[in-house]
Amino acid sequence: MADLFEKCSKGTSARAREAMLSGWYPYFKAIESGADTEVVINKKKMIMIGSNNYLGLTQDERVKQAAVRAIEKFGSGCTGSRFLNGTLALHEELEERLADFMQREAVLVFSTGFQSNQGTISTIVGRRDLVVGDNENHASIVDGTRLAFGRSLKYRHNDMKDLDKVLSLNRKPEHGVLIVSDGVFSMGGDIVDLPGLIQVAEKHQARVMIDDAHSIGVLGDHGRGTGEHFGLEDKIDLVMGTFSKSFASIGGYIAGDEDVVHYIKHTSRALIFSASPPPAAVATVITALDILQKEPERRERLWSNYHKMKQGFQELGFNTGNSQTPIIPIIIGDDDRTFGFWRRLFEEGIFSNPIISPAVPPGQSLIRTSYMATHTDKELNFVLEKFEQIGKELNLI
């Protein structure tokens, strides 16, 4: 008789235990300080280049004080879902502010970014519908398509000819169609070919949803994301964003036409059956949005840091893939060499993220690095020096 738990001692779980015993385990590292450009792990200071804190706002005093004031006024939690007793005036204020910022009719705030994607896609795509996504979309998009009652298909990464082919072969008149893509891809740091995607969508009369988790606060003259970056905001039907990156908090949202957002608000199980975001988290987002709008120099500094590091890595001879954003992968290829590189970086005081399959295609293992507006030149120079030292030591460059 098969045992349900038999899998728990094999495969990925067994490899993780082996890595723990050998000292190569790189995940779930407990950080003993606040999320900043420098963190403390095992009482040792380390330069953080593995965070999505793009604007460096998690330690901003204005953001922290907003959280304190919210707790003093509203308490620590909401004790229920948005649908019933968990909606505060604070949630509605944030939704109004975000709708104005995003230049959309309406915004709906979810408890996590993952739920924003999962809860929207699984709600919008019905039994007679078709959802098509990029092969390298975030897991929350993938899970949303799996939960949807409609048919789900994939196209090759950022390949709009393949997207056109998939739709040409599978689109039927009775199908409603949703095309979903990351705006910035979280592992490679490349940007979706939005002009090409829109062209294909219009040809097949499909709706478009863009996951701007890594784009809001980063791309566009005002930080509104991929649509603003390409001047195509009016061609995107739904925009998803998160609060755990540029907004220095936790949660997510979906922005679009009022009737569509209203439908999701009253139908999405991920929203209706989840406790609402706590007051402190919501208040920090409102304050972070204020700073994002009032201090464009933060984005300018972020992009300056990106160009410095991209150029520095390339001059050293590292493969940075197709990175176009402050996410810069160092592609190594082999899993063992990737873990070895990560371990030496960690020993030298640099926190980075080793990424292997299935998060990236087989044979494309990499060190994921990402940068903040608040990184100093001294910190970044230290990182480049250590990458050069260890890269030569391990014969990677």
Q: Taking the model in full, what pTM does it have? A: 0.95
What local confidence, expressed as pLDDT, does residue 36 receive?
A: 94
CA 389 – CA 295 distance, rounded (Å): 36
Q: Which of 51, 111, 140, 186 is catalytic?
A: 186
**Residue 245 appears among annotated catalytic residues:** yes
186 is catalytic: yes
Whole-number Å distance between alpha carbons of 364 and 354: 11
The DSSP line for 344-392 is HHHHTTEE-EEE-TTSS-TT-EEEEEE--TT--HHHHHHHHHHHHHHHH
CB 331 within 8 A of CB 188: no
> Domains in the chain, ordered, with CATH?
21-50+296-393 (3.90.1150.10), 61-294 (3.40.640.10)
The pLDDT value given to residue 358: 83
Catalytic residue chosen out of the listed positions 91, 157, 204, 245:
245
At 57 the pLDDT is 97
From 214, 229, 310, 375, active-site residue? 214
What pLDDT is recorded for position 282? 98
For the question of residue 235 being annotated catalytic, the response is no
Q: At what angle do helices 113-124 and 258-265 cross, to 10 degrees?
A: 100
Q: What is the mean pLDDT of each run of 10 residues along the chain (397 residues)?
A: 86 78 84 93 96 97 98 96 95 98 98 97 96 97 96 97 97 93 97 98 98 98 98 98 97 98 97 97 98 97 98 97 97 92 96 89 92 98 98 95
Question: Which tokens hold the place of 205?
Answer: 């009369």
- For the chain, give the number of residues: 397
Rounded CA-CA distance 268/278 in Å is 19
| Residue 76: other Cβ atoms inside 10 A | 10
DSSP for residue 328 = E
- Distance between CA 40 and CA 310 in Å, rounded? 26
Which residue is associated with the tokens 């390949």? 159
Written as one letter, the residue type at 396 is L
Res 7: pLDDT: 86
Distances (CA, A) of 198 to 145, 160, 203, 217, 263: 20, 9, 9, 22, 24
